[in-house]
Amino acid sequence: MTTKEYQNEGETMLDLRFVRDNIDQVQQNVDNRHTKAELERFITLYDRRKELILEVEDLKAQRNAVTAEISQLKRNKENADVQIAQSKEIGDKITVLDDEARQVEENLRNVALMLPNMCDDSVPVGADEDDNPEVRRWGTPRSFDFPIQAHWDLGETLDILDFVRATKVSGARFTFYKGVGAKLERALINFMLDLHEKQGYTEMMTPQLVTRETLIGTGQLPKFEEDVYKIQDQDYFLIPTAEVTLTNYHSGEILSEEELPKNYTAFTACFRSEAGSAGRDTRGLIRQHQFNKVEMVKFSTPEKSFDELEKLTHDAEEVLQLLELPHRVITLCTGDIGFGSAKTYDVEVWMPAQDKYREISSCSNMTDFQARRANIRFRRGAKGKPEFVHTLNGSGLAVGRTVAAILENYQEADGSVRIPTVLQKYMGCEVIKAPQK
């Protein structure tokens, strides 16, 4: 039986009955992802929950029968003490079993919340990023006839990025944008939002503090709690991406089929502790604790979600194409794909100073994984049975990485940086030059 046949089960995270009935398939998915899951404990808890449900139902039927007998005896003015005692004994047993059932249910949910989404059949099996196949390329990397500077050096020379003072103020992996640098960041944000509006997305401004349940809804918690920033003594978290707020915008709702697909975009600051990135990309704008991003989120019917993934990816690529930045698209293999994703394309931009492509957007189809956790459904027609939507998300783009790519790809021999044509109307200039000394 396929996942689709279970999509109306009404459980959170992965459909629990699907997991139990397809335990070997789920185990293979876990193995392909090179992760771990407590599937034996899942089976034990799932089966015990089923036993408890049956036991309680049987006891309630017995109690109902005894209650009916008590009523009859009282109508006949006969003694019902034995039956009353029997009813109390049955009620006590039900209370004990209900308490156990609540604990089993909680434990089962905690185990299930740590199960990754099922990879789509089209996702290549692989160990890590080295096994990600390339889908396509756009543009030819520029040939330079002068020494290439890294974006962090260009930023400091042009006096538009200040890493030193940011470290003084906030510590490592933070940046001050200054003057034209701040204007370039703002120009990119406006350009991306304007483009996404033309592509059919509704612009949103969202909260940047969210509850624990909101992060559970999109899959960041409980598995990745070390990667998000928690407000001390409060159960609020800074968002790692607007995917969190945009996806949960419809949590607990039933949409109509006619409303789908729904497309949203939002610019927000994003906050990530980068707990597992010690020693990686310590310089520059590639891996920051705080960065700006324009996010795209889609809500789709299940049968159209993979078509929507292709559209989403092309929408992200169009940003780079209009900026005339060479890039490529890769498919993430099972060993590199995200926890909640069924299929992901990464868009990687060419970074001349590193002589390699670097991720600038990640576009994913989460199928019904997030919708189950956040309880987002839709109805086909007025009387259709509610089904879980499919959710998709993608960066359009990570703004700081786009700044880095522009600085490196558009640099000139004299240390200046040309402004991409589509940004010039937002910037009011064509070139960023070093300040006169």
Residues annotated as catalytic are: 272, 287, 359, 362, 401
> Treating both helix axes as pointing N-terminal to C-terminal, what angle do 305-323 and 180-198 enclose, rounded to 10 degrees?
140
| Rounded Cα gap, residues 321 and 59, in angstroms | 67
> Treating both helix axes as pointing N-terminal to C-terminal, what angle do 399-409 and 305-323 enclose, rounded to 10 degrees?
40
Q: H or E element: which one contains 315? A: helix 305-323
**DSSP symbols for 90-148:** HHHHHHHHHHHHHHHHHHHHHHHTTPPPPPPTTSPP-SSGGG--EEEEES-PPP-SSPP
Q: Burial letters for 34-55: b for 16+ Cβ neighbours within 10 Å, e otherwise?
A: eeebebeebeebbeebeebeee
Give 246's contacts (C-beta < 8 A, 6+ positions apart): 204, 206, 264, 266, 295, 297, 393
Give 261's contacts (C-beta < 8 A, 6+ positions apart): 298, 299, 300, 301, 304, 308
Q: What is the CA radius of gyration of the chain?
A: 27
